[in-house]
Chains A and B, each alone.
Chain A
Amino acid sequence: MILEPAEIMSLVAHMRRVGVAEIELEEAGSALRVVVPEQAIAPAVDGTAAATTVAAPYVIAAEACGFFQPGHPARAAAPARGRRVEAGEVVGTIAAGPLLRPVAAPAAGTLGRLLCAAGGRVDHGTPLFEFAPHSPSSPDSGKRKDTR
């Protein structure tokens, strides 16, 4: 693969920010085409508002086979819809026997709806969470926060 999922998410966030709808990359015989849904290219709004008003147009999918658990089987609170997460944050686990593999946020963003029941059998690619990546914070948005 040309890019890791996290890098694609980061790329998508940049595309949203600058209003690019589609790109294609080719390298050494492999190709990647990224199409951003129109409603997702809307100019970035205030982060808090984005979390509640912008739909979560992407999904976090399983990267392992096993039984999915949002959060962690030994922790009571599973990450809820609307929860803001950092890139790489573990938002769920996939159990194969006694081994747990992580379901991690591919970028900083906000979790949308849960797409798979707790305890559900999942395979590579099974959608688990809706996900809305945050636009990379620009110097402008930083300023807006400071002056509030």
Chain B
Amino acid sequence: MIEILETPPLNAIQDLGRLGYRCHGVGRGGAMDRVALAAANALLGNDENAAGIELQLFPVRVRFAGDTVFALTGADCEARLDGRLLPPWWAMSAQAGQELVLSPPRQGLRAYLAVAGGIDVPEVMGSRSTQMRDGFGGLDGRALAAGDRLAAFPAPAFALRDGAGLGALPASLALAAADCPQAQPGETVLRVIQAAEYEQFDAASQAALWQTPWKVTAQSNRQGYRLAGVALQRLEPVEMRSHGIVPGVIQVPPSGQPIIQLADGNSAGGYPKIGVVIEADLWRIAQAAPGSALRFVSCTLEEARTAERAVAAYLGTLRRLAGYCRLPSLGKVA
């Protein structure tokens, strides 16, 4: 059981998302940084789709109402458990009454808090993630607020081999980003596959897509990131019918300033698509703060699949090795 003592708005329960309902206008939703949430669950031996808490705004204070084991991944919030500083991407035991305090991260944007067993909220359309816009999923379809008490599903009782806990090598160190020689330090490099309307853009716009930085504007959230940079122009404007779109699609509205559709993005849209950020790099966007810059690197379908396999291997190996750090115990972990 976790009690929320303090939280700004927009922090909510998420799992890996809601699949199979796009045809009804319900997008994937779920964690923006799916790798961080999956890593937290891997450290705890949870179901890989167990629900955790996505933290986008800080400071956050929670109290553990019972003994449990928790994991914290994503942006480094210099978390403190009863005052003691924890390493980032870390899992450890908490005792009833202990308080966890998270500060605004200096790098990255979103952190994920998971507990052994996963957060117990009802599944709605196959997912426990919060669809805030439509008010369902998660905890009553809303963001968390002070006073909320969250229960965890029962987990197999275990103790950690090391009292000080265990950690995961953060994804930013474990999963190499694409090479991009012109990228400046701090810029987020993303692999992009050309989308259906790529050829409709003029040569200067195509070149600008790959060769110039794209600033993340303040109009960026779970729905999508609006970018600022060179105005992208098509050779001739052609009206399009709305069609299904997925997280990662880079749309170009008439302003020429691209939009990346993300977790809570629309299920359909009619803007031309110049590219799509590969699934294996979407978590990097989740950690790119407004004011920072993105770089796009052209990528083939085969390279995208290789990158996906690298993510799966990272999470699979982490899960297997973390299993050796958990010992069956007689005490019950609630």
Given A97-B317, A98-B168, does the pair A72, B84 have CB atoms closer than 8 Å?
Answer: no
A72 lies within 8 A of B87 (CB):
yes
Q: How far is the CB of B227 from chain A (nearest CB, A)?
A: 26
B89 lies within 8 A of A104 (CB):
no
Nearest residue in A to B108 (C-beta to C-beta)? A74
A99 on the B face (CB < 8 A)? yes
B297 on the A face (CB < 8 A)? no
9 cross-chain pairs, A with B, having the tightest CB-CB distances, nearest first: A100-B167, A102-B164, A104-B164, A99-B321, A72-B87, A98-B318, A98-B169, A74-B170, A97-B317
Q: Which residues of A contact B (CB under 8 A)?
A: 6, 63-64, 72-75, 86, 88-90, 93, 95-102, 104
Q: How far is the CB of A12 from chain B (nearest CB, A)?
A: 19
B325 on the A face (CB < 8 A)? yes
B155 on the A face (CB < 8 A)? no
| Residues on the A chain within 8 Å of B168, using CB | 98-100
Task: Please report the C-alpha to C-alpha distance between residue A117 and residue B194 in the assembled complex, in whole angstroms.
Answer: 45
A100 lies within 8 A of B162 (CB):
no
Task: Please report the C-alpha to C-alpha distance between residue A94 and residue B174 in the assembled complex, in whole angstroms.
Answer: 15
- Count of residues in B whose CB is under 8 Å from the partner chain: 26
| Residues on the A chain within 8 Å of B321, using CB | 96-99
A102 lies within 8 A of B88 (CB):
no
| Residues on the A chain within 8 Å of B89, using CB | 74, 100
Task: Please report the C-alpha to C-alpha distance between residue A89 and residue B314 in the assembled complex, in whole angstroms.
Answer: 27
Task: Please report the C-alpha to C-alpha distance between residue A19 and residue B318 in the assembled complex, in whole angstroms.
Answer: 47
B76 on the A face (CB < 8 A)? yes
Q: How far is the CB of A86 from chain B (nearest CB, A)?
A: 6
B84 lies within 8 A of A100 (CB):
no
Q: How far is the CB of B232 from chain A (nearest CB, A)?
A: 35
If A95-B169, A101-B166 are given as contacts, then 19 extra A-B residue pairs at C-beta distance below 8 Å, sorted by A number, are A63-B162, A73-B170, A74-B88, A74-B89, A75-B87, A88-B84, A89-B84, A93-B87, A96-B321, A97-B169, A99-B167, A99-B318, A100-B167, A100-B169, A101-B167, A102-B162, A102-B165, A102-B167, A104-B162
B163 on the A face (CB < 8 A)? yes
Task: Please report the C-alpha to C-alpha distance between residue A75 and residue B78 in the assembled complex, in whole angstroms.
Answer: 10
Nearest residue in B to A66 (C-beta to C-beta)? B321
Task: Please report the C-alpha to C-alpha distance between residue A74 and residue B76 in the assembled complex, in whole angstroms.
Answer: 9
Q: Which residues of B contact A (CB under 8 A)?
A: 76, 84-90, 162-170, 172-174, 314, 317-318, 321-322, 325
Task: Please report the C-alpha to C-alpha distance between residue A113 and residue B111 in the assembled complex, in whole angstroms.
Answer: 34
Given A98-B314, A98-B317, does the pair A73, B162 have CB atoms closer than 8 Å?
Answer: no
A86 lies within 8 A of B84 (CB):
yes
B76 lies within 8 A of A75 (CB):
yes
| Residues on the B chain within 8 Å of A104, using CB | 162-164
Task: Please report the C-alpha to C-alpha distance between residue A104 and residue B161 in the assembled complex, in whole angstroms.
Answer: 13
Q: How far is the CB of A123 from chain B (nearest CB, A)?
A: 16
Some 19 contacts from A to B, beta carbons below 8 A apart, are: A73-B170, A74-B76, A74-B173, A75-B87, A75-B88, A88-B164, A90-B87, A90-B165, A97-B169, A98-B168, A98-B314, A99-B167, A99-B168, A99-B321, A100-B168, A101-B162, A101-B166, A102-B162, A102-B167
Nearest residue in B to A86 (C-beta to C-beta)? B84
Nearest residue in A to B43 (C-beta to C-beta)? A99
Q: How far is the CB of B59 from chain A (nearest CB, A)?
A: 19
Which of A74, A86, A90, A93 meets B172, CB within 8 Å? A74
Q: How far is the CB of A78 from chain B (nearest CB, A)?
A: 12
Which of A6, A88, A90, A99 meets B325, CB within 8 Å? A99
